[in-house]
Amino acid sequence: MFCSNCGQQIGEGLSFCPNCGTKVGGTANAQPVPTIQDAPIQQAPITEAPIQAATMEQETIPQPSAAAAKKPLDKKKLKKVGILAGVAVVAAVAVIGVVSLISSGGSHKKTLFRDGLVPFQSDGKYGYINEKGEIAIAPMYDRAHGFSEGLACVSVEKKGDELTGFINKKGDVVIDMQYDRATDFKDGMAEVLVDGRIGYINKKGKYIINPQYNDDSVYYIGYDMFLIKDIGGDFWTLCNKKGKSINDTRFDYPINFETICPFYNEEWGSDKNKVDWKTIPLKTITGNYIYINSRGKTVIETQYDEADQFIDGMAAVGFDEKYGYINKKGECVINPQFDKAGAFAEGLAPVGVEGKNSTFYGYINKKGEYVISPQYDSASSFHNGVAIVSTYSKSNDYGIYGVINKKGKTIIEPQYDKLKFGEDNKHLVYELNRNYGYINYKGEADITGIYEYATPFYSDGYAVVQISSDKYAVIDSKGEQICNNMFDFIYPPERIAINY
């Protein structure tokens, strides 16, 4: 069906035009939305959604049709697709399009203290403290990463040049300061830059891949596999550590930060441990996604132009800027019909539909039925039975955040400038009037401190807080500082301590 006002094609089940907002009725003439069979996906990362002024009266949006998931392919637009015979597709979840440095197994929990240490800054130099707040490695570095696989990447300035190497937890230099740049170790390897060329070393400092690639022309994607840019720069090839091609497909640029659903929280909710890290979506030079396994073999070919990894047995996929879901067999179970689509967690997924002036978000179940109707300006995946949502505040002219349960009941009234889940499954960190604090899932301030800045709690039960304009500390889950010492800065593991 097409809008009588602007001519926009309207998906089945919508009662308004997604382009101009004109009300429509009936679905007898609706055009079939293309379904894609046989394609796992990469789960869209949930990031802080841009605040949108919901000045329009909210439209009534009907339940999406479960039958819509089984509409036939539009063969004029899509080729026949299918799972390759004999290959089992396992459930998975990862950040959409982000394929560099995927860990090959192990824990994906975020801890503040990695290998028991975290970088801190004092008088312009960087060292490390332990979980007691004691200085374990004295501040002497100009740059410091968090520890990874027992080693930390650090840098010192010598004669105007910054040289990088690696230390162990005792502070001993185990790989000499000799590189222009280096990454953390992943799967026993670290990327290094030497004289403008990229190579990879093992934990003994021996080259696995000699420095031979131009900067930004090689990416490690996990499981001893690399994407290497063609000399002409038009495509990327999947290779092993010897540089030998292991897949005939030519791939597009491997880092794509576009998201299917830009929700407030960048996590996947409580079901992120159900990610299948061994099924990796990659975009080909023809614009469609395929999926490879941990050996580099293509296991699923699709015609989707957007795809995420699997979580909770479902994956969001996109075609012609409409989004739906497939199961682990690659079957389209919820037809592409939404304007935004996020990760399933605890049986529900956040989805968005566009109105006249804004996109509204609600939640669907695995049948594609709305459990919570679209009514929010942004929405996260569920986390231990609750989700973060935002609504427009006329008095402040921006979005404010609160918490709902799986029935759509408001647990914490929207009132905060920002809200974010912690990894400790107990607290949310909030920002209100440029101050930071913590509340539990009931909205109670069981940690009474108010800070100039605060990180979420990590899975090891610690968080970094800013006590004053130039002093930082680490607190535990009771809100108590782990020691009396305060530091110029304490660097969470996702950040790199560096002097600019």
Question: What confidence tier does 73 reach under pLDDT thresholds 50, 70, 90?
Answer: very low
Q: Which residue has the tokens 């973060």?
A: 388
Greater model confidence, 40 or 179 = 179
Per-residue pLDDT for 83 more than 50?
no
396 has pLDDT over 90: no
Whole-angstrom CA distances from 200 to 136, 179, 182, 185 are 29, 11, 9, 10
The structure tokens listed for 49 are 């959604």
* pLDDT band with cut points at 50, 70 and 90 for residue 165: very high
pLDDT in tens, 131-144: 999 999 999 999 99
pLDDT of residue 328: 77
Q: What is the pLDDT of residue 272?
A: 61
Count of C-beta atoms within a 10 Å radius of residue 103: 13
Q: What are phi and psi of 292, to 5 degrees?
A: -115, 155
CA distances from 189 to 104, 148, 177, 494, 496 (A): 12, 11, 17, 18, 18
What is the CB neighbour count within 10 angstroms for residue 78? 17
pLDDT at 68 over 70: no
State both tokens at 344. 């399933």
Question: In the predicted model, is pLDDT for residue 395 greater than 60?
Answer: yes
* Averaged pLDDT score across all residues of the chain: 78
Question: For residue 391, what pLDDT band results from cuts at 50, 70 and 90?
Answer: very high
Q: Residue length, the chain?
A: 500
Q: How many CA atoms lie within 13 A of 195 on its CB side?
A: 3
pLDDT of 496 = 53
Give pLDDT tens digits for 240-250: 999 999 999 99
Q: Which letter does DSSP use for residue 251 in this model?
A: B
pLDDT tens track for 441-451: 999 998 998 99
- Phi, psi angle pair for 273, to nearest 5°: -75, -5
| β-bridge mates for residue 471, sequence order | 468
Measured over the CA atoms of residue 6, residue 8, residue 10 and residue 16, the dihedral's sign is negative
Q: What is the DSSP string of 172-185?
A: -EEEEEEESEE---
Flag whether pLDDT at 88 surpasses 70: no
CB 116 within 8 A of CB 134: no
- Tell me the C-alpha distance between 381 and 348, whole Å: 8
What proportion of the chain, given as a percentage, has pLDDT over 90?
57
Q: What is the pLDDT of residue 494?
A: 67
Tell me the mean pLDDT in the region 228-248. 92
pLDDT at 271: 56
Other Cβ atoms within 10 Å of 190 Cβ, number:
26
More confident residue, 363 or 314: 363
Is the pLDDT confidence value at 195 over 80? yes
Residue 15: what pLDDT? Answer: 42
Average pLDDT score over residue span 211-222: 91
Amino acid in the structure at residue 77 = K
Residue 144 CA from chain centroid, whole number: 24
Between 17 and 391, residue with greater pLDDT: 391
DSSP string over 80-123: --EEPTT---------TTB-TT---SS-----SSBTTBEEEEET
Q: What is the pTM of this model?
A: 0.76
- Name the one residue in this structure whose structure tokens are 């914490």: 412
Predicted pLDDT at 151:
98
Rounded CA separation 315/342 (Å): 9
* Concatenated DSSP letters of 386-446: EEEEEEEETTTTEEEEEEEETTS-EEEEEEESEEEE-TTSSEEEEEETTEEEEEETTS--S
d(CA 426, CA 131): 20
How sure is the predictor about 313, in pLDDT bands with cuts at 50, 70 and 90? Answer: confident
pLDDT confidence of residue 212: 94
pLDDT of residue 107: 52
For residues 83 and 356, which has the higher predicted lDDT (pLDDT)? 356
Confidence of residue 327 (pLDDT cuts 50, 70, 90): confident
Q: Mean pLDDT lowest for which of 265-274, 352-361, 474-483?
A: 265-274
Give the pair of three-digit tokens for residue 312.
């909770």
- The total of other beta-carbon atoms located within 10 Å of residue 121's CB is 20
Question: How many Å apart are CA 12 and CA 292, to the nearest integer?
Answer: 33
Q: With cut-offs at 50, 70 and 90, classify the pLDDT of residue 398.
A: confident
For the segment 323-329, the average pLDDT, to the nearest whole number, is 86
pLDDT for residue 66: 44
Residue 160 has pLDDT above 50, yes or no: yes
